[in-house]
Amino acid sequence: MRLIPRMTTGLVFALLVLVGCPPLASASNPLQSWPASCQVTQTSLNLCASKYLDVANTQLHAWLQRERAAGFLKSDIDRVERQWEAYRTTECAMTSRRYQNGTIYPLTYGLCEITLTQARIAQIRDDIAALKTP
């Protein structure tokens, strides 16, 4: 019985590496305790991934709103973000397809969305920093 939780933990962390989930290094990041704060059951990991994605999406939208208010984003950003979200949905569906009939599918799909959202935040942050630099 004890081997199952250890195998599940190993599978989850191997999956995190395979999907490319970046480390959460910032002490101010409310997500840094994930997945350590989750119970090691498939349902719990799926729910944690969903919560983690909600926080990542909130961070993305807050960043966009702040920069939009500061005048650094052009008016077409809403259209661009809708296109990016469509890309993220398609990309994650494609990369998670092999698991679509399994219980791990929501986790693989969610980790993909989290990874792409974090990358998008970094991309926007870097793009805006370049605009602000004379």
pTM for the structure as a whole: 0.68
3-state secondary structure of 23: coil
| Three-state helix/strand/coil letters over the chain | CCHHHHHHHHHHHHHHHHHCCCCCCCCCCCCCCCCCCCCCCHHHHHHHHHHHHHHHHHHHHHHHHHHHHHCCCCCCHHHHHHHHHHHHHHHHHHHHHHHCCCCCHHHHHHHHHHHHHHHHHHHHHHHHHHHHCC
Looking at per-residue pLDDT, the higher value among 6 and 92 belongs to 92
pLDDT of amino acid 66: 81
Q: What percent of the chain has pLDDT over 70?
A: 69
pLDDT band at 5 (very low <50, low <70, confident <90, very high): very low
Position 47 pLDDT exceeds 70: yes
CATH node for 48-134: 1.20.1270
Q: What is the pLDDT of residue 10?
A: 40
pLDDT at residue 32, as a whole number = 52
| Amino acid at position 90, single letter | T
In terms of pLDDT, which residue wins out, 110 or 35?
Answer: 110
- Determine the pLDDT at residue 34: 54
User: For the chain, which residues make up each domain, given as ranges?
Assistant: 48-134
Distance CA 116, CA 20 (A): 9
Is the pLDDT assigned to residue 16 strictly greater than 50? no
| Start-to-end C-alpha separation, the chain | 61
pLDDT at res. 35: 58
Query: How far apart are the C-alpha atoms of 75 and 89, rounded to whole Å?
Result: 23
What band does 33 get if pLDDT is binned at 50, 70 and 90? low
